[in-house]
Amino acid sequence: MKRALNIAVSPGVLALVIWWADAGAVLAHLRAASAGWLVLAGMSLTVLTFAMAKRWQIVGRALDLEISYRRAVGEYYIAQLVNLILPGGVVGDVARAVRLRHAGDMVRAAQSVAAERIIGQVVTFAALGFGLAVAVIVPGGIAWPVPGWVVPVCGVAAVGVGIAVSRRSGATGRFFRLIGRLLCNLNVLMLSALITVLLIFSLYACARATGTHIPPAGWFTLIPLILSAMLVPLSVGGWGWREGAAGALFPLIGAAPDAGIAMGIAYGALMMIAALPGLYFWMRTPVPSTLSPSRMETL
């Protein structure tokens, strides 16, 4: 029942936001999409996968897990593909940890996956916080309503909780201290900054492809907020929530909601295309018997 609800929510929310906007206008944006900008967005998503795989490799080494870069890329592609086709957005990461357990043990494998994901979110929220701070200090930018501050405030609260937990003894405290050390690692920081820029650019390119120019004031504010909507677990691949957030936020930059929805649809489609190499890696590396497809759907 829960799986069926998760699967139904994304198309339901997507249909609702398209109905709320203008289905004809959304379709017009998609039909007139610029192939050049779509190619640039796809290339950005591809480089993004390779950069995230490298970051995961570095995190794994910090946990004494030896992961070859070739394997890290393959496992990341598989995880992305699974996350995009199964509800929740984490099943692929669970599978990635299970498939890596032979490199050390299950605990360290799971920690490497979780730490890499957390580091990515911390840096993205930091970019969002920086963008909103600049928007307040520099006049003439986007006038952000109070609800626009909910995500960064929650992000700051989460960081505060993480710092408090890291001061405790035990496995959880050690794990958060590991994240703190990795966030001070220059290579991890540089890769995370590159990944954040690529994420922002890929969504920006989809906006340009569908006919909308997002001003510089929205690069580190509007776009990270739309990306944050994809974290809602009651979805498949972020569908519906991403388009809903874009449709609600685009009027802040003088664009119509249908333009934001079209951008979200283009981005979701390109994410699927960019993750297709995961099929190749999946076929070359069979799923371990401990994680059969039927069990993956129950996670």
Residue 5 has pLDDT above 90, yes or no: no
pLDDT top residue among 162 and 215: 215
Provide the number of structural domains found in the chain. 1
Q: Indicate whether 39 belongs to any domain.
A: yes
Condensed to tens digits (0 to 9), the pLDDT of residues 119-146 reads 999 999 888 888 888 877 776 667 666 5
| pLDDT tens sequence across 244-270 | 999 999 999 999 999 999 999 999 999
Read off the pLDDT of residues 13-61 as tens digits, 9 standing for 90 and up.
888 898 888 899 999 999 999 999 999 999 999 999 999 999 999 999 9
User: Is residue 227 in some structural domain?
Assistant: yes
Q: Provide the CB-side half-sphere exposure for 39 (13 A, CA).
A: 3
CA dist., res. 171 & res. 175, Å (int): 6
Exposure pattern of 235-266 as b/e (b: 16+ CB <10 Å)? bbbbbbbbbbbbbbbbebbebbbbbbbbbbbb
Give dist(CA 263, CA 185) in Å, integer: 34
Domain range holding 42? 33-232+275-296
Tell me whether residue 59 is in a domain: yes
- 52's tokens: 């995230």
pLDDT of 297 reads 43
Quote the pTM value.
0.87
Q: Is residue 22, in this structure, part of any structural domain at all?
A: no
pLDDT tens digits, residue range 141-151? 676 665 656 66
167 pLDDT exceeds 80? no
Measured in residues, the chain has a length of: 299
